[in-house]
Amino acid sequence: MAQLIFTEDRAHPGLDDFRDLSTADRRPDRPGGRGLVIAEGTVVVGRLLASRYPVRALLGVERRLRELEDELAGVDVPAYVTSAETMAEVVGFHLNRGVLAVADRPEPPTVSQIVDSAQVLAVLEGVGDHENLGALFRNAAALGVGGIVLGPGCSDPLYRRSVRVSMGHVLRVPFATLDSWPGGLDVLRARGFTVAALTPRADSVPLRGLREKVPGPIALLLGAEGPGLTDEAIEAADVAVRVEMVSGVDSLNVATAAAIAFHEVSAGSAPLE
């Protein structure tokens, strides 16, 4: 059971992990960066506690920590209980979610480990927007995508904002970085994946019906909203597919286009709780 520690001492060394939160999630080689994983709010903190991420500590107002009683029963970490005011002063801004947890980053899985356990993968190129990246993980979790492979130009899924927008699903959907691009896609192909690039290019085929043509594992290659995938990435794919859209309309947000593609190819048969 987590140990509840009541304090209003802003200088308490146990609170050090929670100071300057707006930069603490940056990589340790960046100014103020400590590479911590930060979860905000009871839902996301609960997911962090249930994840493989080693939680270091919690900080919250009493009401929110009590809401997490069940999730805290099995973990042995300090949980600092303060007023909302003390919390805001330590963190540096006002958090209306009332509870935070910090964790270390475990060793990331390899691409091979991810590939082995998935039937559908998302492979991202140049998705640098933290909110889009977080939304993409949330959609992947909901729609049965087994893992996410990060190509070049993607931001860090463990940034605080991505963790929040993902509703904590960056902590559940495994992800790994592909070092060689786009050549590394051969690793996926060697494991039986068909690599399908999502692009509005004229020579793409409609996404609709892709599942019938490709019954086996699929890796969906997705680029950032705006520029889309590079030509090199599209050339390296086995097939180019498009979401059919009305002409003259901007392309969809990348997380939305991804959700449509995930729905189209996922087995998607498990009922909702």
CB nearer a second copy, residue 60 or residue 146: 146
The reply on whether position 244 binds a second copy by CB under 8 A is yes
Q: Which own/partner contact pairs does 6-10 have at CB distance under 8 Å and 24+ positions apart?
A: 6/81, 6/82, 7/80, 7/81, 7/82, 7/86, 8/82, 8/83, 8/86, 10/86, 10/89, 10/90
Task: Give least dist CB 272 to a second copy, A.
Answer: 4
The reply on whether position 205 binds a second copy by CB under 8 A is no
The reply on whether position 214 binds a second copy by CB under 8 A is no
Q: Residue 159 half-sphere exposure, CB side, CA atoms within 13 Å?
A: 18
Task: Give least dist CB 190 to a second copy, A.
Answer: 27
CB nearer a second copy, residue 11 or residue 246: 246
The reply on whether position 43 binds a second copy by CB under 8 A is yes
**Coil, strand or helix at 4:** strand
Task: Give least dist CB 248 to a second copy, A.
Answer: 5
Sole binder of a second copy in the list 68, 124, 259, 265 (CB under 8 A): 259
User: 192 CB contacts (<8 Å, ≥6 apart)?
Assistant: 216, 217
Residues 121-180 that bind a second copy (CB under 8 A): 135, 138-139, 141-144, 167, 169
**Could you tell me the CA-to-CA distances from 217 to 167, 195, 229, 257 in Å, in that order?**
26, 9, 21, 19
Residue with tokens 């399908």: 196
CB nearer a second copy, residue 10 or residue 52: 52
Sole binder of a second copy in the list 11, 29, 70, 246 (CB under 8 A): 246
**Could you tell me the CA-to-CA distances from 191 to 118, 135, 216, 217 in Å, in that order?**
10, 27, 11, 9
Task: Give least dist CB 57 to a second copy, A.
Answer: 25
Task: Give least dist CB 175 to a second copy, A.
Answer: 16
Q: Are 115 and 191 in contact (CB under 8 A)?
A: yes
Tokens of 145: 């995508």
The reply on whether position 213 binds a second copy by CB under 8 A is no
Region from 61-69, 77-85, 185-193, 252-260 binding a second copy, contact rule CB under 8 A: 252-260
Task: Give least dist CB 187 to a second copy, A.
Answer: 25
Task: Give least dist CB 219 to a second copy, A.
Answer: 18
Q: Residue 158 half-sphere exposure, CB side, CA atoms within 13 Å?
A: 24
The reply on whether position 108 binds a second copy by CB under 8 A is no
Alpha-carbon distance 131 to 109, whole Å? Answer: 23
Query: How many other CB atoms sit within 10 Å of the CB of residue 55?
Result: 22
Sole binder of a second copy in the list 11, 93, 107, 249 (CB under 8 A): 249
Q: Which residues bind a second copy (CB under 8 A)?
A: 43, 135, 138-139, 141-144, 167, 169, 200, 202, 206, 208, 242-253, 255-256, 259-260, 263-264, 266, 268-273
